[in-house]
Amino acid sequence: MPAKGVDARVLTGESLLARFTALDAFLTEHQALWKPRPFTHLQLPWETTYPELADWLRGRSLEAAESAHTQPALLEAPEPFASLAAMSLSLSAVGELPTHALEAAGHRLNVDVPGRKWQQIEAFASRLQFADAPKHWLDWCSGKGHLGRRLLQTGQQLTCLEFDPALVASGQALSQRHHLHALHVEQDVLAADTASLLKDEHTPVALHACGDLHVRLIQLASAAGCKQLAIAPCCYNRISLTQYSPISSAARGSDLQLSLDDLALPMSETVTAGARVRRQRDTSMARRLAFDLLQRQLRGVDEYLPTPSLPSAWLDKPFADFCHHLAALKELSTIGPQDWSAWEAAGWQRLAQVRNLELLRGLFRRPLELWLILDRALFLLEQGYEVRLGTFCETPLTPRNFLLLAERA
């Protein structure tokens, strides 16, 4: 939902580069505010520049942070928060793509599809409008191929590419059960031979294919001469390199250098979880933050120490055991007698501070996501496509709700 007074339009033509340029300037100028992660810093570098904002954020509760998390720009916090929030809202405003009435889905086609996934598929499919009717859908990283089957109409063909053999087999069985003629191919789309599978008559569609996977599609589809494609990207940080490698000439000319941690920012919006899941997530983070305080003392080094992700059963251990095991895992010196409840309380206090300080980074979450997707859009523009970039559903259905439509005359 665009904020009041913000002009939210589908981006196309020259507005793609204009928006990219504005976002690039905003993100580059304020890197010091969004790159350092509160989780790994006891004190963030910007806190000395903006002490009033830092104190204000640090003084708030965990519940207050939680309630502002999905829409940090609506928080009335001291400057420069308010000005940055206004910039964030206007720079990330993008309109909804127009919908068209979908043919009714085949009988029981949504059986076996989780409800939310089916709604995403319906929303995605209802925004696909191309000058030429697609002849052959190519469902890229298709899972079981639910999206492709939903799109398939009489007279059209469908090929699904997926590398998980179990999903390929389930997809094939589902297509047979619905009497739909679809080819489910077991294929690693990153493999060299994938290029030979793309044909100019294909209309590739990709719903939530991760980083390298959808970038690969953009490159192969444009090289194969596909006339049209539709991509809703996801997980920009799932890439094989350790730094982001831009694909458009505008992004290649940017001063912004993005690490994997930076690329994870757009995905840091946590979906609304139930109370139990939230409690588990919070406990895990509070314990890690407490352990971080402890390890700094044990090592005598005031630096964050990365720890591996741990099985959730670790949260059932008493806190002291949790720390002993984690210290052993990290080969730290023996922990002497400790006031465990004080450490644990310090972890919870730090969690509240971290979550509130993260609200400032949150203002850059959507702008960075838009910068990344505009890199893809501008690359397609350079390849001779007309590009439309808009949203295909509301955020609660999926925060990864940008859809890129490209077609060549």
Tell me the closest approach of the beta carbon of residue 205 to ligand SAM, in angstroms.
8
Nearer to ligand SAM, 210 or 335 (CB): 210
Collapsing DSSP to helix, strand or coil, 239 comes out as coil
Q: Which of 390, 387, 349 is nearest to 59 (CA)?
A: 349
Output the smallest distance, CB 43 to ligand SAM, in A: 37
Distance, in Å, from the CA atom of 2 to the CA atom of 8, rounded to the nearest integer, reads: 6
Look at residues 184, 199, 203 and name the one whose alpha carbon lies nearest to residue 141: 184
228-232 and 202-207: which strand pairing?
A: parallel
The count of chain residues that interact with ligand SAM, using the rule CB under 6 A, is 17
Q: Which long-range contacts (CB under 8 A, 24 or more apart) does 24-32 make?
A: 24/250, 24/251, 24/254, 24/256, 24/371, 26/87, 26/88, 26/91, 26/367, 27/256, 27/364, 27/367, 27/368, 27/371, 28/254, 28/255, 28/256, 30/84, 30/364, 31/256
Contact status: 142 vs ligand SAM (CB under 6 A): yes
Binding-site string for ligand SAM from residue 144 to residue 173, where x marks contact by CB under 6 A and - marks none: --xx--------------xxx--x------
Complex with ligand SAM: residue 162 or 344, whichever CB lies closer: 162
Q: Is 122 in the site for ligand SAM (CB under 6 A)?
A: no
Q: Smaller CB distance to ligand SAM: residue 139 or 344?
A: 139
Q: Which is nearer to ligand SAM, 147 or 403 (CB)?
A: 147
**Contact call for residue 213 and ligand SAM (CB under 6 A):** yes
- Of residues 369-408, which lie at the interface with ligand SAM (CB under 6 A)? none
Distance separating alpha carbons of residues 344 and 73, to the nearest angstrom? 31
Interface with ligand SAM, residue 226, by CB under 6 A: no
The CA-atom distances, in angstroms, between 361 and each of 31, 67, 69, 273, 288 are 10, 16, 11, 21, 20
In this structure, are residues 387 and 406 in contact, taking their beta carbons and an 8 Å threshold? yes
Cβ 106 to ligand SAM shortest distance, Å: 18
CB of 190 to ligand SAM, least distance (A): 5
**Minimum CB separation from ligand SAM for residue 247, in Å?**
18
Of the candidate residues 30, 117, 227, 400, the single one contacting ligand SAM (CB under 6 A): 117
Of the pair 89, 230, the CB lying nearest ligand SAM is at 230
- Is 208 a binder of ligand SAM (CB under 6 A)? yes
Residue in 163, 29, 177, 93 with CA at minimum distance from that of residue 366: 93
Task: Give whichever of 85 and 406 is closer to ligand SAM, judged by the CB atom.
Answer: 406
Q: Binding to ligand SAM by residue 229, rule CB under 6 A?
A: no
Task: Kindly state whether residue 190 participates in binding ligand SAM, applying the rule CB under 6 A.
Answer: yes
Q: Is 189 in the site for ligand SAM (CB under 6 A)?
A: yes
Q: Does 197 bind ligand SAM (CB under 6 A)?
A: no
Q: Which residues pair with 185 in a beta bridge?
A: 161
- Residue 35 or 376: the one with the smaller Cβ distance to ligand SAM is 376
Q: Give the DSSP letter string of 162-198.
A: ES-HHHHHHHHHHHHHTT--EEEEE--TTSGGGGGG-
DSSP H helical ranges for 225-332: 249-252, 260-263, 275-299, 319-329
Stretch that binds ligand SAM, among 51-59, 185-193, 253-261, 343-351 (CB under 6 A): 185-193
Residues forming the site for ligand SAM (CB under 6 A)? 117, 141-143, 146-147, 162-164, 167, 188-190, 207-209, 213
